Chain A
Amino acid sequence: MRIFNFFRPAQPAKPESSAHQAKERLQIVMAHERANRDGPDFLPLLQQELLAVIAKYVDVDQNKVEVKLDRAKDVSTLEVNIELPSRKPETNRRRPVLQGATSSP
């Protein structure tokens, strides 16, 4: 049926084609998976240790910790947002961070 296809040579996927996008997405995600295949799942541990360090100085709510990741071809970014509690002026529990650190009870 496709008589016009006869005149069209076979072409590799164009950069904007969906097949090209599929290949690129797979390459990115699989490169990361292969690299981490035998290693431990470090993100939960990293988060626990980061929190433990921060908790030494301020009260942090576990639920107010946001971890964002963006994997790209050459570089990945890990973004950790920790919401710190607002300081109440009267209570000395939330003194400036460094002071609290040196004079912990």
Chain B
Amino acid sequence: MGQIIVMTSGKGGVGKTTSSAAFATGFALRGHKTVVIDFDVGLRNLDLVMGCERRVVFDFINVINGEAKLGQALVKDKRVDNLYILPTSQTRDKDALTKEGVEAVMEELRKEFEFIICDSPAGIERGALMALYFADQAIIVTNPEVSSVRDSDRILGMLAARSRRAELGQAPVTEHLLLTRYDPSRVERGEMLNVDDVLEILAIPLLGVIPESQAVLRASNVGLPVILDETSNAGMAYADAVARFLGEQVEHRFVKPVKRGLFSRLLGRPA
């Protein structure tokens, strides 16, 4: 039976879709059959980040409504084996996500996939609730910034109270913190919350720290999950986080600032 993982944050723009694409690709690269689902009905973007926007025929909502079979809506990734994308509808709204409909799709996916990643929309309304409801594990994407940390805490509360596991009195959803857009040099100057500050406040285990990186925008420009940019800091940090999720012990590599020599400063190359 596959594991359902929700990528959630409460706040928008912190990197849920970037992280969903990276984790899905990372799991698939390691041989785990994975599907990533866009729950942001009406504001579909996972397809663009995954680079499959031109090949979307049917979507998650078509499947829920019985207008297409699940197999017809799944888009197979062209670069990585074992990787599938379930895009959402761009024209309908979150009310199309019925609990029964989502459950039926989840149960069908569980039989075929090892990992099912639910890319949550921002907010705490229907879309976000449906994305987290069936989760076994949750990756809380947080920026080292006050509003993001507070919103993450709010989402942790929803996971503890309103997930299916909570409602059925089962073991709670396993929580992981993914700290994104981390800038070690600003942390060192005391301009940004550091990892320990955030961990102290949220009190959940740390899965990874993704450094602020120009590679993320470059990757989304061309529709390539950033984990496939193997030379970038962000790509490597995601690969480490995926390994940790799968139980490996990997040191956190990108929490200290990189020392830059005079020459690289003069050339103005980013770290």
Contact = CB atoms under 8 A, between A and B. Distances in A.
Given A2-B268, A25-B223, A29-B48, A69 B53 contact: no
Interface stretch (B61-69, B147-155, B201-209): B61-69
Contact of A47 (B56, B68, B90, B91): B68
Interface in B65-89: 67-69, 71-72, 89
B220 interface: yes
Nearest to B65: A44
Contact of B58 (A1, A28, A36, A44): A44
A74 interface: no
A63 interface: yes
B62 A22 contact: no
B91 A1 contact: no
Interface residues of B, number: 26
A29 B54 contact: yes
A69 B57 contact: yes
B260 to A, nearest CB: 10
Contact of A71 (B54, B68, B266, B267): B54
Given A44-B67, A67-B58, A37 B91 contact: yes
B54 A1 contact: no
Contacts of A69: 54-57
A7 interface: no
A32 B56 CA distance: 12
B53 A65 contact: no
Interface residues of A, number: 32
Nearest to B61: A41
Contacts of A36: 91
A25 B127 CA distance: 26
Nearest to A66: B72
Interface in A30-75: 33, 36-37, 41, 43-44, 47-48, 62-63, 65-72
Contacts of B89: 41
Given A4-B267, A41-B91, A72 B54 contact: yes
B222 interface: yes
Given A1-B266, A21-B221, A22-B220, A67 B57 contact: yes
Given A21-B221, A37-B91, A41-B67, 14 more contacts: A1-B265, A2-B267, A18-B217, A21-B222, A22-B221, A25-B48, A33-B90, A41-B91, A43-B62, A44-B62, A65-B69, A67-B57, A69-B56, A71-B55
Interface of B: 48, 53-58, 62, 67-69, 71-72, 89-91, 217-218, 220-223, 265-268
29 contacts: A1-B266, A2-B268, A4-B267, A18-B217, A18-B221, A22-B220, A25-B48, A25-B53, A25-B222, A26-B48, A28-B54, A29-B48, A29-B53, A29-B54, A36-B91, A41-B91, A43-B62, A44-B62, A44-B67, A47-B68, A65-B72, A66-B72, A67-B68, A67-B72, A68-B55, A68-B57, A69-B56, A71-B53, A71-B55
